[in-house]
A and B are shown apart, each in its own frame.
Chain A
Amino acid sequence: MIVVTSVTMGLLAVAAVLCIVRLVRSGSLADRTVALDTLLVIVVCGIATYAARSNSGLFLDVLVVVALLGFTGTALVARFIERRGA
């Protein structure tokens, strides 16, 4: 299981780096919102992978909070873009 979770963590790290590159180099606010949303999904996947690796459900409450906060943030920024433009 250690090998599998290590491979999963590595793949997730590559995906996170790609998201961060898009986040830094993007042109518009909507681009950054999409990249941040994907980054939060990757963070949730990473925490779940760590839980599977350590066989403990200690961090799973964090997952619920991060998932909810991710949606709240995305919806908030989307409303902001729609009001302001750009």
Chain B
Amino acid sequence: MLTVLSGVLMITGALLAVIAGAGLQRFENVLSRMHAATKPATLGLALVLIGAAIQIPDPRSGVKLLLVILLQFSTAPVGAHLVGRAAYGAGPEMRGRIDVDELAMDRPEESSASG
């Protein structure tokens, strides 16, 4: 029973990774690609690692896997925020596609310069 559960979890997580790969190919700009790529970074990784933790009998391995999940859940949003802000600052052509542009309100001198 537990084996079935762990198998389902691991395959679901791997499917999320494939979906992210497809999203990386299909979407046309950096921010929408990040939208696809950040799903396996938290949910997919957590599913695969929980599946592995169920499968490995040693409880110390479970603690290590839990530590990796915690690390990833705390660092993935920070990394995505940094990359998104850098992509926004580097690509002026993207700014016209954003409906609500709160970063432009923080940088009034740049938005007035670019029109």
B62 CB to nearest A CB, Å: 9
A17 CB to nearest B CB, Å: 7
**A residues contacting the other copy or chain, number (CB 8 A):** 52
In the complex where A56-B56, A64-B71, A82-B85 touch, is A28 in contact with B18 (Cβ < 8 A)? no
Residue numbers in A under 8 Å from B67 (CB-CB): 64
Q: B14: which of A8, A57, A60, A74 is its contact (CB, 8 Å)?
A: A8
In the complex where A38-B24, A45-B45, A52-B51 touch, is A78 in contact with B86 (Cβ < 8 A)? yes
Interface size class of B (residues with CB under 8 A): 35 or more
Residue numbers in A under 8 Å from B79 (CB-CB): 37, 70-71, 74-75, 78
Residue numbers in B under 8 Å from A85 (CB-CB): 89-90
Counted as pairs of residues, one from A and one from B, with CB atoms less than 8 Å apart, the total is 175
Residue numbers in A under 8 Å from B30 (CB-CB): 28, 30-31, 34
Interface residues of A in 2-27 (CB under 8 A from B): 4-5, 7-8, 11-12, 14-19, 21-22
B49 CB to nearest A CB, Å: 5
Q: Quick check: A71 and B10 within 8 Å, CB to CB?
A: no
Q: Quick check: A63 and B40 within 8 Å, CB to CB?
A: no
B→A interface (CB under 8 Å)? 3, 6-7, 10-11, 13-15, 17-18, 20-22, 24-25, 30, 33-34, 37, 40-41, 44-45, 48-49, 51-52, 55-58, 60-61, 64-65, 67-68, 71-72, 75-76, 78-79, 82-83, 85-87, 89-91
A→B interface (CB under 8 Å)? 1, 4-5, 7-8, 11-12, 14-19, 21-22, 28-31, 33-35, 37-38, 41-42, 44-45, 48-49, 51-52, 55-57, 60-61, 63-64, 67-68, 70-71, 74-75, 77-79, 81-82, 85-86
